[in-house]
């Protein structure tokens, strides 16, 4: 097998509010022998909000991002659930609607680009599971996380809508009982915590307009993990991470109970198991202290 | 009738039991059964009642997936009992299945819930055509196929409540209309014969009850047994709020529009700028957490943001492809 190469769509968060996610993505890629070609031309995906204002513009911008991955003839890998959903949804809509694809391409033509539909789009979590395989990951683990109970938090936009999500990766995922992140925890040597909120919403997308709703959902998620006796949580989504890591004050207030747990990005957990050190995984950037490394 | 071989397997059903008139707390009862590949969930509910406990209660009527009466949850998945095959559920969840009402907190007796909140929200969105009807029409009121298509199958909703009780916002915000009511609102808002003006769509724009409080979790799309895709209709209502010019400047609308501004300027999102633009003076409440984030290297000022490469392309596309106004 040749070296795995992907076109990396970092999304905006990894370059701003979750620098640790950017760092740990590269640290883990190096350990796994993955080459990442960063799509520095990419714009914001609209984060599921631009489309509320202007759906067509959102399609055009996402199609442009995908067109760059196609130019490299690579699968696009995302590291944010919402980037994954918006980009994969764009691909799905364009690939299934010739008229829409034509209208989008008329716009892209103005800047010398074309959306063809030739690149796959998958989240880094599923790229690792599908293309490297968890058996291989397990072999590569040098520091098993055997002393930890780890609560997986999946994030909506990696598991729903399942019909779309299951088009983007080979490992089928049941949105009512997802297993990919649990399987990764086990491959890293950890014990998984089963709790009701693991596949539920963190509230990120209404943090500004409905702060109480957002805080209750975040609080419920952390409380569920705590009640499941978790030492820490892990998530593949930087937006969920922002909620779970930085909003514990509001969340505690909203549900009337002190909730707080260290929360790692999926890449940070994998990095720890593969022997990366805390500094290269950016642990110092967390608001809720990661006190076990 | 299927010609494939009928297979049977043993399934353990953990069934929610509760009688609001007698029980202080609900409990679960286990029933072990041989289930055939031909059966649907409703067959199991019938067998529990007919073979095990005559007091077991649930709602059922048409058995054809059209009356919307028999929706329950199986292992947390909203399910129209007469439509969902046992084979599919066993494939998804294995041989231990938990049967619960759509909403435990609204349970009256076993699978039966008080659906009053659902109907109240449905009624609140004016779920009918508002138009002056000529009592002595001289011609038919025709709707072209293209016009009918704009409803996008929202008219196929059977009001089963599966999406409503799958919605995490409905569970915690009693003002929220919920996905089914939104789909109903869209169905009439998109109808060319409707002359409601801006009343209905304005109600969608109100905070707490309207579309801006949707968390975008896609639970409703996953839950809908008729594939109506309520969240897609919610997205269309968002667009209509701008198209029908009822959008007022508030934190929710500015949050959506703010992405447009940011992408035009940086290609990527200016996270801090977006919060500032959305909140305006309300930014003050974010300062304590923002200060801690800044110390931890989580906030990049506008002058430190790395713009997307080939910004000229992005600017050009934003200029040529923008279809909305605010």
ipTM of the complex in this document: 0.96
Distance from CA of A1 to the nearest CA of B (A): 32
- Of A123, A152, A169, which closes a domain? A123
Reported as a single tens digit per residue, the pLDDT across B144-155 is: 999 999 999 999
Which tokens is B282 given?
């309300």
- Chain A residues within 8 A of B214 when measuring between CB atoms: 206
The separation between CA A72 and the C-alpha centre of its own chain, rounded to angstroms, equals 22
**What number of helices (H) and strands (E) belong to chain A?**
14, 8
3-state secondary structure of B13: strand
Task: Tell me the shortest Cα–Cα distance from A121 to chain B, in angstroms.
Answer: 19
Q: What is the distance in angstroms between the Cα of B76 and the nearest Cα belonging to chain A?
A: 7
Query: Does A19 contact B326 at a Cβ distance shorter than 8 Å?
Result: no
Indicate if B106 and B124 belong to the same structural domain. no
Here the tokens at position A74 are 């690579």
Q: Of A88, A123, A158, which residue is a domain's last?
A: A123
pLDDT digits over B109-121, tens only?
A: 999 999 999 999 9
- Report yes or no on B137 lying in a domain: no
Indicate whether B97 and B121 sit together in one domain.
no
The verdict on residue A292 lying in a domain is: no
- Cα distance between the two ends of chain B: 56
Beta bridge partners of B109: B19, B112
- Let me know if residue A235 belongs to a domain: yes
Distance of alpha carbon B221 from alpha carbon B179, whole angstroms: 9
Q: Is there a contact between B41 and B78 (Cβ–Cβ < 8 Å)?
A: no
| Last-in-domain residue among A90, A123, A156 | A123
Burial class (CB within 10 angstroms; exposed 0-12, middle 13-18, buried 19+) of B71: buried
Contact assignment for B322 to A205 by CB distance below 8 Å: no
Asked whether residue B274 is domain-assigned, the answer is yes
Residue of B173, B229, B261, B268 to mutate, interface with A, max A Cβ within 10 Å: B268
A50: domain CATH number is: 1.20.1050.140
Residue B239, token pair as written in the block: 């667009």
DSSP at A200? S
Closest residue to B310, CB basis, from A41, A55, A162: A41
B73 pairs with which residues across the strands?
B78, B100
Say if the Cβ atoms of A111 and B75 lie within 8 Å. no
Residue B3 is predicted with a pLDDT of 58
Would you call B316 and A111 a contact, using CB atoms and an 8 Å cutoff? yes
In this model, does residue A122 exceed pLDDT 90? yes
Q: B268 and B228, same structural domain?
A: no
**B136 domain residue, yes or no:** no
Judgement on whether residues A155 and A275 belong to the same structural domain of the protein: yes
Cα–Cα distance, A218 to A156 (Å, whole number) = 13
Neighbours of B250 (CB within 10 A): 15
B window 9-68, beta carbon within 8 A of A: none
Q: Supply the pLDDT for residue B265.
A: 96
Q: Peptide bond preceding A161: is omega within 30 degrees of 0, i.e. cis?
A: yes
| Containing structural domain, residue B177 | 116-130+147-243
B152 and B192 fall within a common domain? yes
Mapping DSSP to helix (H, G, I), strand (E, B) and coil, where does residue B107 land? strand
Domain identity same for B121 and B186 = yes
* B220/chain A closest Cα distance in angstroms: 9
Query: Alpha-carbon distance A52 to A46, whole Å?
Result: 9
Choosing among B317, B322, B325, B326, which should be mutated to test the A contact, i.e. which has the most A CBs within 10 A? B317
Phi, psi values for residue B171, rounded to 5°: -65, -25
Place B4 in a pLDDT band, splitting at 50, 70 and 90.
low
Are A153 and A173 contained in the same domain?
yes
Which residues, in sequence order, are CB contacts of B126 under 8 Å at separation 6+? B185, B188, B196, B199, B200, B203
Look at the alpha carbons of A92, A94, A97, A98 in this order and tell me if their dihedral is positive or negative.
Answer: negative
- The predicted-structure confidence for A85-94, as pLDDT tens digits, reads as follows 999 999 999 9
A221 in a domain, yes or no? yes
Our count of domains for chain A comes to: 2
The residues facing B8 across adjacent strands are B36
Are residue A112 and residue A232 in the same domain, yes or no? no
Domain of A13 in residue numbering reads as 4-123
What is the DSSP secondary-structure string of B24-93?
SS-EEEEEEEEEETT-BHHHHHHHIIIII-TT-------SSS-S---EEEETTEEEETTTSBHHHHHHHH
How many residues would you count in chain B?
326
Q: Is B271 on the interface with A (CB under 8 A)?
A: yes
Q: Indicate yes or no: CB of B298 within 8 angstroms of CB of A18.
A: yes
Same domain, yes or no: B151 and B225: yes
Same-domain status, A62 and A199: no
pLDDT above 60 for A1: no
Identify from A16, A105, A166, A237 which residue to disrupt to test chain B contact, counting B C-beta atoms within 10 A and taking the largest count: A16
Q: Are residues B125 and B238 in the same domain?
A: yes
Residues A96 and A193 in one domain: no
Q: Which of B:209-238 have CB within 8 Å of A?
A: 212-219, 221-222, 235, 238
Residue A17 lies in a domain: yes
**B125 and B233: one domain?**
yes
Within-domain flag for A117: yes
Best residue in B152, B168, B273 for a mutation probing chain A (most A CBs within 10 Å)? B168
Contact B314 A64 (CB under 8 A): yes
DSSP B19: B
CATH code where residue B170 lies:
1.10.1060.10
Instruction: Answer whether residue A229 is part of any domain.
Output: yes
Give the one of A52, A206, A247 whose C-beta lies nearest to B235's C-beta: A52
The answer to whether residue B135 is domain-embedded is no
A115 Cβ contact list (under 8 Å, min separation 6): A63, A64, A66, A67, A70, A94, A101, A104, A105, A108
DSSP class per residue in A64-112: HHHHHHHHTT--EEESSHHHHHHHHHHHHHHHT-HHHHHHHHHHHHTTT
Please check whether residue B95 lies inside any domain of the structure: yes
Clarify whether residues A93 and A166 are in a common domain.
no
| A8 and A108 together in one domain | yes
Q: Does B259 sit within 8 Å of A44, measured CB to CB?
A: yes
Q: Which of A13, A37, A54 to mutate to test the interface with B (most CBs of B within 10 A)?
A: A54
Whether residue A91 is contained in a domain is answered as yes
| pLDDT tens-digit readout, B7-25 | 899 999 999 999 999 999 9
How far apart CA B144 and CA B149 sit, in angstroms, is 9
B304 within some domain: yes
Q: How confident is the model at residue B289 (pLDDT cuts 50, 70, 90)?
A: very high
Tell whether B313 is within 8 A of chain A (Cβ). Answer: yes
State phi, psi for B323 to the nearest 5 degrees: -115, -10
Q: B121 and B182: one domain?
A: yes
Q: Is B219 within 8 Å of A48 when comparing Cβ atoms?
A: no
Q: A209 vs chain B: nearest CA distance in angstroms?
A: 5
Is the same domain home to B238 and B121?
yes
- Are B40 and B120 found together in one domain? no
Across the interface, whether the CB atoms of A50 and B299 are under 8 A apart is answered: no
Tell me how far apart the terminal alpha carbons of chain A are, to the nearest angstrom.
34
CATH of the domain at A204: 3.40.50.11810
Give me chain A's average pLDDT, please: 97
Task: Give a yes or no: residue A178 inside a domain.
Answer: yes
Residue where a domain stops, chosen among B243, B274, B308: B243
- A177 and A107 in a single domain? The answer is no
Does residue B156 belong to the interface with chain A, where contact is any CB pair within 8 Å?
A: no
- pLDDT score recorded for residue B6: 80
Burial of B220 (0-12, 13-18, 19+ CB in 10 A): buried
Q: How far is B318 from chain A (nearest CA, A)?
A: 7
* Cβ pair B208, A210 in contact under 8 A: yes
Distances (CA, A) of A234 to A28, A64, A138, B272, B305: 15, 31, 18, 25, 27
Reported as a single tens digit per residue, the pLDDT across B290-313 is: 999 999 999 999 999 999 999 999
Per DSSP, which regions of B110-183 are E strands?
112-113
- Average pLDDT estimate for A101-110: 98
Average pLDDT over residues A125-136: 97
Give me the number of domains chain B comprises: 3
Nearest CB to B215: which of A56, A177, A203? A203
Q: A72 and A26, same structural domain? A: yes
């Amino acid at each position: 097998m040749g070296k795995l190469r992907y076109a990396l769509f970092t999304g905006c968060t990894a370059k701003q509010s979750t620098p640790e996610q950017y760092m740990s993505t590269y640290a883990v890629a190096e350990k796994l022998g993955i080459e990442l070609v960063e799509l520095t031309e990419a714009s914001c995906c609209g984060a599921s909000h631009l489309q509320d204002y202007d759906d067509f513009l959102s399609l055009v911008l996402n199609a442009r991002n995908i067109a760059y991955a196609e130019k490299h003839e690579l699968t696009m890998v995302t590291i944010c659930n919402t980037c994954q959903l918006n980009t994969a949804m764009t691909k799905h809509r364009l690939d299934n609607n010739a008229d829409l694809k034509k209208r989008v391409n008329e716009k892209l033509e103005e800047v010398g680009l074309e959306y063809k539909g030739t690149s796959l789009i998958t989240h880094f979590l599923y790229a690792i599971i599908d293309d490297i395989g968890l058996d291989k990951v397990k072999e590569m683990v040098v520091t098993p996380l055997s002393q930890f109970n780890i609560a997986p938090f999946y994030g909506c936009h990696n598991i729903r809508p399942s019909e779309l999500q299951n088009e983007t990766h080979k490992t089928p995922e049941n949105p009512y009982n997802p297993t990919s992140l649990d399987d990764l925890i086990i491959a890293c040597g950890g014990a998984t915590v089963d709790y009701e909120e693991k596949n539920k919403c963190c509230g990120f997308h209404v943090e500004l307009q409905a702060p109480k709703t957002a805080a209750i959902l975040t609080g419920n998620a952390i409380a569920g993990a705590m009640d499941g006796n978790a030492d820490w949580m892990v998530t593949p989504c930087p937006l969920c991470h922002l909620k779970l890591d930085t909003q514990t004050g509001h969340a505690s207030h909203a549900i009337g109970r002190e909730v707080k747990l260290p929360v790692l990005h999926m890449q940070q957990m994998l990095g720890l198991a593969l022997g990366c050190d805390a500094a290269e995984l950016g642990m110092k950037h967390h608001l809720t202290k990661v006190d076990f490394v | 009738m299927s010609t494939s071989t009928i297979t049977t397997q043993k399934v353990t059903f953990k069934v929610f039991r509760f009688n609001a008139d007698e029980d202080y707390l609900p409990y679960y009862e286990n029933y072990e059964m041989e289930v055939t590949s031909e059966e649907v969930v409703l067959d199991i509910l019938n067998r529990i009642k007919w073979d095990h406990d005559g007091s077991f209660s649930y709602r059922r009527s048409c058995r054809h997936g059209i009356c919307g009466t028999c929706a329950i949850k199986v292992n947390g998945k909203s399910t129209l009992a007469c439509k969902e095959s046992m084979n599919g559920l066993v494939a998804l969840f294995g041989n231990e299945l938990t049967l619960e009402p759509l909403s435990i907190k609204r349970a009256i007796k076993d699978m039966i819930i008080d659906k009053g909140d659902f109907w109240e929200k449905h009624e609140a969105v004016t779920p009918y055509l508002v138009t002056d009807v000529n009592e002595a029409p001289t011609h038919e009121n025709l709707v072209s196929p293209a016009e009918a298509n704009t409803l996008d199958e929202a008219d196929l909703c059977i009001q089963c409540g599966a999406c409503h009780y799958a919605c995490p916002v409905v569970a915690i915000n009693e003002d929220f209309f919920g996905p089914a009511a939104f789909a109903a609102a869209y169905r009439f808002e998109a109808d060319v014969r409707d002359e409601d003006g801006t009343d209905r769509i304005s109600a969608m724009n109100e905070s707490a009850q309207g579309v801006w409080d949707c968390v975008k979790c896609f639970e409703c799309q996953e839950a809908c047994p008729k594939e109506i895709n309520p969240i897609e209709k919610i997205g269309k209502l968002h667009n209509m709020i701008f198209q029908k010019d009822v959008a007022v400047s508030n934190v929710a609308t500015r949050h959506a529009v703010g992405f447009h501004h940011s992408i035009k300027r940086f290609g990527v999102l200016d996270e801090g700028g977006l919060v500032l633009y959305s909140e305006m003076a309300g930014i003050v409440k974010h300062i304590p957490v923002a200060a801690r984030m800044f110390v931890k290297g989580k906030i990049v000022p506008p002058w430190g943001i790395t713009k997307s490469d080939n910004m000229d392309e992005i600017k050009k596309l934003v200029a040529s492809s923008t279809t909305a106004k605010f």
